[in-house]
């Protein structure tokens, strides 16, 4: 069993992080597939709204609940696509004291926008979904494909951010029972609200006040839940995997991410370098020397020699670009996925990727 293999057989949560466009979704699905092949019940959660994962897994669609993907493996493979708003709706329903309160929140014009506006909401909802799946006990391993975060810390900060949001002085003041009205709100807060009305417009502030008041009594439930999510993210059975390509900008992002994870005491357990240009043939000393280039490239095989030299040069330069990152994340395991001749877009492609990664 390879070191990466141990990860999918022994851990209960794998969080795949990295910047956008590095193939996180494919790598996440590959990890879940490897777990199913090892006989485990695995579920991959994707935030990628493209139909790509559904297509590549050969299922019609991936609603906000796990869909089983049939295949020739001893375990079970499930997948679901995160619906941020749906997940937030479910949370509201869970913690609202009455159905009327939940309806009141959802009817507020600001609620519709909050999912997108509250920074890190999508990240938080991904973590919330993760918690729900782990708690359900239906899976041995849950793999989360994280949103392409603007800031590497959003993901880990998400639960904290929501709690802080709920604990803010102004927010708490606004949560006072509606009947007591603004008279009960401290003078300082009233002054603040007046100032805000002046800047933002009175109606916008009134809407915001109404919105916060609709949350009355729900903050404790939210806080407890955020604490549980935070503990899950710090659990020793949770592994963080940094995914990157060998492109210098992606490597720089991955390095930043690895650094932040380490600062948070959740150092990456593995680094996966995706779409690496393959080396072709054995680069003999005579093949790489500059001296005979002109001769070699002018012969009948010239164009082919030049192409081979170009591709191998790209591969060499890529090897160099992530070498420092691999050293930085040591002792994390480094997995390498070559750039295939054709793009990975179906289950066979995922299987081929898993064959290489977990060889």
Partner 1 sequence: MDVGTFCAQSHVLIVAGKGGVGKTTMTAALARMASRAGYSVLIVELEGKSGLTGAFGLEHDLGYEEVEFHASAPGQGCVRARRITPDDALVEYLEDHGLRRISKRLVNSGVVEVVSSAIPGIRDVLVLGKIKQLERDGVADLIVVDAPATGHAITFLTSASGLVSAARGGPLRTQAADVVELLGDPARCRVILVTLPEEMPVSETIESAFTLEDKGGVQLGPVIVNATDSLPEGLELSAEEAGAGLDVDPAHLRALEEARRFRLERHSISAAQIGRLAQDLPLPQLLVPKIDSAGIGPAETDTLASALAVAVGALVPEAPAP
Quick check: 148 binds partner 1 (CB under 8 A)?
A: yes
Report, in Å, the least distance between residue 10 CB and partner 1: 31
The residue written with tokens 């975060």 in the block is: 149
- Asked if 182 interacts with partner 1 (CB under 8 A), we say no
19 binds partner 1 (CB under 8 A): yes
Cβ 357 vs Cβ 337: under 8 Å: yes
Q: What is the distance between the alpha carbons of residues 163 and 223, in angstroms, rounded to a whole number? A: 6
Tokens of residue 83, six digits: 């619906």
According to the binding rule CB under 8 A, does residue 353 interact with partner 1? no
CB of 6 to partner 1, least distance (A): 29
- Binding of partner 1 at residue 213 (CB under 8 A)? no
Contact call for residues 28 and 46 (beta carbons, < 8 A): yes
Q: What is the DSSP string of 209-252?
A: HHHHHHTTT-HHHHHHHHHHHHHHHH-TTEEEEEEEESSHHHHH
Cβ pair 83, 64 in contact under 8 A: yes
Give least dist CB 190 to partner 1, A.
Answer: 13
Q: Residue 36: enclosing H or E segment and its boundaries?
A: helix 24-37
Is residue 208 a contact residue for partner 1 (CB under 8 A)?
yes
CB of 73 to partner 1, least distance (A): 25
Kindly indicate which of the ranges 70-78, 83-91, 166-174, 328-336 contains the residues binding partner 1, using the contact rule CB under 8 A. 166-174
Using rule CB under 8 A, residue 276 touches partner 1? no
Distance of CA 137 to the CA centre of its chain: 21
Q: Select from 60, 282, 291, 327 the one that contacts partner 1 (CB under 8 A).
A: 282
Residues in the interface with partner 1 (CB under 8 A) total: 74
Q: Cβ(306)–Cβ(236) under 8 Å?
A: no
> Contact between 254 and partner 1 (CB under 8 A)?
no
Binding residues among 323-342 for partner 1 as defined by CB under 8 A:
339, 341-342
Which residues in 98-137 contact partner 1 (CB under 8 A)? Answer: 109-110, 113-114, 116-119
Return the closest-CA partner of residue 17 out of 228, 168, 243, 248. Answer: 243
Rounded Cα distance between 77 and 15, Å, is 17
Q: Which is nearer to partner 1, 35 or 350 (CB)?
A: 350
For residue 154, the cross-strand partners are: none
**Nearer to partner 1 among residue 55 and residue 89 (C-beta):** 55
Measured in degrees and rounded to the nearest 5, phi and psi for residue 220 equal -65, -45
**Binding positions for partner 1, 57-86, rule CB under 8 A:** none
Pick from 313, 323, 324, 355 the residue near partner 1 by CB under 8 A. 313
Binding residue for partner 1 (CB under 8 A) from 4, 14, 17, 22? 22
Bridge partner list, 144: 15, 45
């Amino acid at each position: 069993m390879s070191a990466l293999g141990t990860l999918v057989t022994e851990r209960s949560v794998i969080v795949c992080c990295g910047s956008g466009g590095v193939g996180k979704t494919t790598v996440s699905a590959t990890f879940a597939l490897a777990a199913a092949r090892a006989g485990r019940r695995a579920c991959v959660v994707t935030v990628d709204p493209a139909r790509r994962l559904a297509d590549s897994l050969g299922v019609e669609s991936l609603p906000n609940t796990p869909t089983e993907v049939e295949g020739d493996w001893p375990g079970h493979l499930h997948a679901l696509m995160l619906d941020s708003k749906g997940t937030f709706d479910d949370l509201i329903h869970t913690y609202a004291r009455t159905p009327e309160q939940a309806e009141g929140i959802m009817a507020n014009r600001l609620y519709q926008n909050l999912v997108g506006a509250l920074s890190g909401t999508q990240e938080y909802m991904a973590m919330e979904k993760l918690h729900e799946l782990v708690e359900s006990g239906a899976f041995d391993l849950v793999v989360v494909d994280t949103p392409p975060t603007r800031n590497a810390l959003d993901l880990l900060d998400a639960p904290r951010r929501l709690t802080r949001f709920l604990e803010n002085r102004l927010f708490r003041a606004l949560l006072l029972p509606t009947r007591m009205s603004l008279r009960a709100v401290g003078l300082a807060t009233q002054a603040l609200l007046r100032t805000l009305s002046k800047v933002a417009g009175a109606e916008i502030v009134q809407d915001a006040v109404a919105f916060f008041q609709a949350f009355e009594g729900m903050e404790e439930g939210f806080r407890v839940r955020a604490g549980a999510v935070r503990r899950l993210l710090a659990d020793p059975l949770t592994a963080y995997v940094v995914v990157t390509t060998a492109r210098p900008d992606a490597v720089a992002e991955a390095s930043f991410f690895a650094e932040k994870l380490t600062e948070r005491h959740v150092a990456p357990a593995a680094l996966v370098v995706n779409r690496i240009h393959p080396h072709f043939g054995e680069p003999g000393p005579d093949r790489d020397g500059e001296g005979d280039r002109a001769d070699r490239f002018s012969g009948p095989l010239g164009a082919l020699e030049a192409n081979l030299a170009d591709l191998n040069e790209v591969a060499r330069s890529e090897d160099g670009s992530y070498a420092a990152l691999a050293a930085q994340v040591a002792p994390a395991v480094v997995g390498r996925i070559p750039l295939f001749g054709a793009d990975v877009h179906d289950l066979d492609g995922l299987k081929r990727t898993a064959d290489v990664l977990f060889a």
